[in-house]
Amino acid sequence: MKINRYGQAKILTQPELELLFAEGLPTPRERALFGVCLYTACRINEACTLLSSDVFNAQGLVRAHLVIRRTATKGQLDTRTIPVLEELRILLVAYQPEVGKTYLFPGQWHRGHLHPDSAARILRSACQGVGIEGVSTHSFRRTALTQMSNAGIPLRVIQKISGHRSLSQLQAYLEVQPEQVTGAVASLAMLGVSPRVVLRNFPDTSPENPRTSSPEPPHF
């Protein structure tokens, strides 16, 4: 968890996400911005540099797929096309009246796009307002990728969405919960033999049955 900007960005729980979007982020622009980060697992720079035409068609309707251009990606790898979930579409429709002519999230005085640092300040203020610690703009990306992994989505498919260069880079984002470790170890039980089978030819050495062997014959 991030503390004073150190450490990994926090994975957000569903109650924390609901609190943040319902009470922490006060405007349609902010909810749309971080909704894009959450529901596409994109980086904050990729969200801030989206063109309006990448999200809305000429009639002002939300496209079925959102386009993250190669030039905006880290390392300028590949253009990614990501389906727009209904949850994200609703946020984008609410924000549509404020959409910039060029950029989806225009900067101050509509010159260029919103700077990622400005987005980070907005998020810090929102989290402070609702009492959530350890969050950064990367939290939405880590939360989305971890959720997909926990849902059993193959890593190759998640990599296609996240745009990571390698699976090892992707795996560094994923968080393993203690209950997952417990469940993984518990699954090994199916490989073993029942203790009753193993111990049936051995004496019972439990405290409840202190007799560990046949009684010795009497000495004369």
Which whole number is the average pLDDT over 29-45?
94
Rg of the chain's alpha carbons, rounded to an integer? Answer: 26
Q: What is the mean pLDDT of residues 2-17?
A: 75
Residues 6+ apart with CB under 8 A from 14: none
Percent of the chain with pLDDT over 90: 46
pLDDT at 198 exceeding the cut of 60: no
Full set of structural domains in the chain with CATH: 14-171 (1.10.443.10)
CA end-to-end distance (rounded Å), the chain: 75
pLDDT digits (tens, 9 = 90+) for 59-116: 999 999 998 877 655 554 678 888 999 999 999 999 999 999 999 999 976 579 999 9
Angle at 194 between CA 191 and CA 196, to 5 degrees: 165
Q: Is the pLDDT of residue 188 over 80?
A: no
